[in-house]
């Protein structure tokens, strides 16, 4: 079985929501799931499985960065028969997006060689699953949420030297930056699984306001409900 996950096979649901932060998993499980139980606690990566409106859902943290996302998504897909993973996270805006705007990542661009090393995927861009994305869009409409679709930049380096984000916007039409989606999308495609990513703007390269660590952990309810409601339809 898995190297980094210690769960019974039937403890993990076929659809997984993946925040980066284990504390956000705890928040989601306690607030939104019924009969939630801890199903993994290796290396402090505490995951929960419970029920949302009678559907079994697992909330599993990815940790930070493409390598960490790559490990956990691979093992969930490969060893635990997971079919769908929706990343729910935060992003920094490169454009005029405002705090708490919700973004659906249609394509993920990267500076990482993760795809090349993993499965000889040499492109620097990969798309998310169109079928899940369609459901996310429909659910967002039903919830009266303003969902912004676009490309995201998935960086291997948080403190990029000489980060010319305006050039990235011009060259790749990216809305902003995060650090996990590319690893998730490549892994899903390699294994014939489905993955998507919805993000909330937590800070910006164009203005100084940003969400606090507490807000990042507990202030993403619209995003969380969007992902949970989507999980009922996939």
Residues involved in catalysis:
203
Q: DSSP letter at 10?
A: G
Rounded CA separation 4/2 (Å):
6
Q: DSSP letter at 154?
A: E
Rounded CA separation 73/28 (Å):
19
CB neighbour class for 15 (10 Å; exposed up to 12, middle 13-18, buried from 19): buried
> What is the residue-wise DSSP string for 20-81?
S-HHHHHHHHHHH-EEEEEEE-GGG--EEEEEETTEEEEE----SSHHHHHHHHHHHHHHS-
Q: Which residues face 125 on adjacent strands?
A: 109
């Amino acid at each position: 079985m898995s190297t980094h996950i210690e769960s019974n096979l039937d403890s993990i649901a076929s659809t997984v929501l993946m925040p980066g932060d284990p504390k956000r998993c705890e928040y989601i499980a306690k607030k939104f799931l019924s009969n939630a139980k801890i199903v993994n606690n290796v290396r402090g990566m505490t995951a929960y499985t419970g029920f949302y409106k009678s559907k079994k859902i697992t909330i599993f943290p990815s940790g930070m960065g493409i390598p960490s996302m790559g490990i956990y998504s691979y093992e969930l897909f490969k060893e635990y028969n997971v079919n769908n993973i929706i990343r729910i996270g935060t992003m920094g805006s490169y454009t005029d997006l405002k705090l708490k705007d919700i973004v659906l990542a249609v394509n993920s661009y990267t500076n990482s060689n993760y795809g090349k090393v993993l499965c000889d995927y040499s492109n620097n861009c990969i798309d998310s699953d169109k079928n899940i994305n369609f459901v996310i869009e429909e659910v967002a409409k039903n919830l009266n949420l303003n969902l912004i679709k676009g490309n995201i930049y998935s960086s291997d380096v948080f403190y990029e030297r000489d980060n010319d984000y305006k050039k990235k916007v011009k060259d790749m039409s990216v809305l902003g930056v995060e650090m996990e989606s590319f690893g998730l999308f490549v892994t899903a495609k390699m294994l014939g699984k489905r993955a998507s990513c919805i993000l909330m703007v937590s800070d910006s390269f164009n203005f100084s306001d940003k969400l606090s660590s507490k807000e990042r952990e507990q202030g993403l309810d619209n995003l969380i409900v969007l992902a949970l409601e989507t999980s009922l339809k996939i």
